[in-house]
Amino acid sequence: MKELEARIKEDGRVLGADILKVDSFLNHQIDPKLMQAMGAEFARLFKDQGITKVITVEASGIAPAVMAGLSLDVPVVFARKSKSRILSDDAYTADVYSYTKQSTNQIRIDKRFLSADDHVLLIDDFLANGQALLGMKALADDAGATIIGAGIVIEKSFQPGRQAAIEAGLTNIHSLAKIAAFENGQVVFEEAD
Ligand code: 5GP
């Protein structure tokens, strides 16, 4: 998505070897118009595939997921993160290791909001090592829901997330911007989906 790539070039900041900071428009301060355009693009990419629900993880997945849900005209559920290890009968749970935060969170979705009747689209802001996506997949699998695909705002293609997702059986993945490399603090894109 050209508009997103232009914004990443203008406002994104490369931190260290493999982190892109986009908190001025994506995951701290939010540009609602850009977010809306991304939601419309997700809806275009996944239209006519029978999606009944959009699933994401708090916090930074919520904005793009809501915009995708708005465009697809379906409800949005975000998995809550908790550090608690207490198991609950009324929620689907999975452990997700965050590379950026270097800690493990349990993510959970109340059983009232995900069922075997659902055909879900998984949304996240980044695809890096794939842990968040695999965690969402585990919740959907537990519920017996059908996973239609995954929509990612920014994929770092030089990290193994997509491969891990494919190996887990998640194939219909579309990323709005794909980063091939960081070179001298600059972002190098590859052709997006
Ligand atoms: P994964 O589980 O695929 O390794 O990483 C996905 C999660 O880590 C995303 O939800 C995102 O919050 C965070 N993340 C991974 N890489 C980056 C990055 O380069 N920049 C930012 N801002 N967040 C990232």
Per-residue pLDDT of the chain (193 residues; tens, 9 = 90+): 999 999 999 999 999 999 999 999 999 999 999 999 999 999 999 999 999 999 999 999 999 999 999 999 999 999 999 866 665 679 999 999 988 888 899 999 999 999 999 999 999 999 999 999 999 999 999 999 999 999 999 999 999 999 999 999 999 999 999 999 999 999 999 988 7
CB 120 within 8 A of CB 51: yes
Residue nearest to atom 23 of ligand 1 (CA): 126
Residues 6 or more apart in contact with residue 48 via CB below 8 angstroms = none
Protein residues whose CB sits closer than 6 Å to any atom of ligand 1:
19-22, 27, 60, 98-100, 124-133, 161
Which of 102, 77, 67, 70 is CA-nearest to residue 176?
67
Q: Give the model's pLDDT for residue 113.
A: 97
Atom of ligand 1 nearest to the CA of 131: 2
Rounded to an integer, what distance in angstroms lies between the CA atom of residue 192 and that of residue 5? 10
Ligand 1 nearest atom to the CA of residue 99, by list position: 4
Q: How far is CA 140 from CA 128, 155, 187, in A?
A: 20, 21, 33
Q: Which residue minimizes the CA distance to atom 9 of ligand 1?
A: 126
- Give the per-residue pLDDT at 191: 87
Whole-number pLDDT of residue 85: 62
What pLDDT score was predicted for residue 87?
Answer: 58
Which of 8, 100, 155 gets mutated to test ligand 1 (max ligand atoms within 8 A of its CB)?
100
* Ligand 1 atom with the shortest distance to the CA of 130: 3
Predicted confidence at residue 98, as pLDDT, reads 87
